[in-house]
């Protein structure tokens, strides 16, 4: 287990194609830190990648976890409950426990968002495996 993780060497998954072809949900998620793969005790971190025109279609909600997203590249919108906020590189988004949220890439280039949450929003140790079971591991 390492305390130094390179983004391009972290575990990465690709989302399954949506059942409804009109839905724009094609994305990637990588985990850089999680309790069973790094020495973190209560947090997880990684990168969400959204190609142009894609979005996180489901509003996520974490009743007990705080989360911060940081826009590495790309432009788009971040939905927090019923409010939509424009985001661009070097924008940080803080998500309080219980806030419904998702990102949408409205730009012409890939959007990459670094996230950190605490406690880990994946539930028990290795809980991310249940979340990712329909996704394809690509790295």
Q: How many domains does the chain have?
A: 1
* Interval 46-86: pLDDT, tens: 999 999 999 887 889 999 999 999 999 999 999 999 999 99
Domain assignment present for 61: yes
Domain assignment present for 1: no
pTM value? 0.90
Domain assignment present for 18: no
pLDDT of 117 > 90? The answer is yes
pLDDT computed for residue 25 by the predictor: 72
pLDDT computed for residue 56 by the predictor: 85
Q: How far, in Å, are 1, 28, 106, 131, 138 from residue 77 at the CA level?
A: 35, 17, 7, 24, 26
CATH number of the domain at 105, please: 2.60.120.10
pLDDT computed for residue 23 by the predictor: 65
* Interval 22-46: pLDDT, tens: 666 788 999 999 998 888 999 999 9
Domain assignment present for 37: yes
Domain assignment present for 33: yes
DSSP per position, 24-37: ----EEEEEE-TTT
Q: CB neighbours (10 Å) of residue 28?
A: 21
CB 32 within 8 A of CB 39: no
Domain assignment present for 7: no
pLDDT computed for residue 31 by the predictor: 93
Could you give the percent of the chain with pLDDT greater than 70? Answer: 96
Domain assignment present for 101: yes
For residue 39, the enclosing domain spans: 24-134
The mean pLDDT value of the chain amounts to 91
């Amino acid at each position: 287990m390492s305390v130094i993780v390179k983004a391009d060497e972290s575990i990465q998954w690709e989302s399954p194609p949506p059942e409804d072809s009109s839905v724009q949900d094609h994305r990637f998620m990588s985990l850089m830190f999680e309790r069973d793969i790094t020495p973190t005790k209560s947090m997880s971190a990684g990168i969400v990648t959204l190609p142009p025109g894609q979005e996180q279609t489901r509003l996520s909600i974490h009743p007990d976890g705080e989360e911060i997203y940081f826009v590495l590249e790309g432009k788009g919108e971040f939905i927090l409950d019923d409010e939509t906020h424009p985001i661009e590189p070097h924008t940080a988004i803080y998500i309080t426990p219980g806030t419904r949220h998702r990102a949408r890439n409205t730009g012409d280039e890939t959007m990459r968002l670094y996230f950190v949450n605490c406690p880990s929003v994946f539930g028990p140790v290795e809980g991310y495996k249940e979340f990712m079971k329909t996704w394809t591991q690509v790295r």
